Amino acid sequence: MSENATAPTNGAAQISDDEINALADAARALSPGMRFVGRPLNFGWENGAWYWKPDRDHGEKVGATEAFAIDLRSAGEAWKRWGRMDNGKVGIVDQIGGRYVDGWRNPPRHAMPEADEDLPASDDPWKESSSLVLKRLSDDQLLTWSAVYSSREGMGEFLAIAAKDWRDHIGCMPVVLLESAPDGKNFKPRLRIIGWQAFGEGESPPADPARGALLRKRLEELLQKYAAPKGTTSKAAIAGKKVSKRGDMDDEIPF
């Protein structure tokens, strides 16, 4: 027993490595692969503006000079299934996803449940998204940006730039201004790096490659859960579960 170990008392057994590993595995299973923390942050592809939601019913425009720290380890992607919830409203009823640093990459659509090449994308219940956690430096407010459709390209461009410079800023995360760039008739998001600093409280934990095995098991469970009944096509199996068309914002609002 090491000098720092606590001696067992009242006949209690020493803690084994197997017990510690079992608890670590349980922690991975119970904690989400991707985090949604703080308040939602959304990007408007029609006007190029950024908004955050201080509450369920209100949105506030982000100022051009407001600075945000980016939690790079939080970056990840997910498949989310939209459908009718118990309360009768349309919402997310299932999802699978994880962080890039843990080795997760979304499977292609044909490898997901209810794949149907004949089904229009607007009627597909499974929607792909990416997410990133930010901290507003003026008040330490945490925000989660969930990007879908063309906004995912803007997030990818930022991550490519940040990844190249991250090694030169050990212990720090990029500080950005939230901007936009023309994208045909619309806009795509742009995060411009203006500095680097420690993220501070709320930063994501280090990479955990062991989570990949749990996510693969979860994917197998989803494939079984949404398998088309015998004698039906996948298109028939999901008929009547259409997802409503999006409003004026490219990003989803997770409420």
Q: What is the pLDDT along the chain (255 residues), one digit of tens a residue?
A: 444 545 555 556 677 777 766 675 555 444 546 778 899 999 999 999 999 998 878 899 999 999 999 999 999 999 999 999 999 899 999 999 999 999 999 999 999 999 998 888 889 999 999 999 999 999 999 999 999 998 999 999 999 999 999 999 999 999 999 999 999 999 999 999 999 999 999 999 899 888 878 888 889 999 999 987 765 554 534 444 444 334 334 554 343
Please report which helix (H) or strand (E) contains residue 136, including its range.
strand 126-136
**Residue 243 forms part of a structural domain:** no
**Residue 9 forms part of a structural domain:** no
1: Cβ contacts below 8 Å, ≥ 6 apart = 7, 14
Do 101 and 73 meet the contact criterion of CB atoms below 8 Å apart? Answer: yes
pLDDT the model gives residue 125? 95
pLDDT the model gives residue 19? 74
Give CA–CA dist 237/23, Å, rounded: 39
Domain that holds residue 191: 17-237
Please report which helix (H) or strand (E) contains residue 162, including its range.
helix 151-166
Domains contained in the chain, number: 1
pLDDT the model gives residue 8? 52
**Residue 144 forms part of a structural domain:** yes
**Residue 186 forms part of a structural domain:** yes
**Residue 254 forms part of a structural domain:** no
**Burial group, residue 78, by CB count within 10 angstroms (0-12, 13-18, 19+):** buried
pLDDT the model gives residue 2? 47
**Residue 11 forms part of a structural domain:** no
pLDDT the model gives residue 245? 39
pLDDT the model gives residue 1? 46
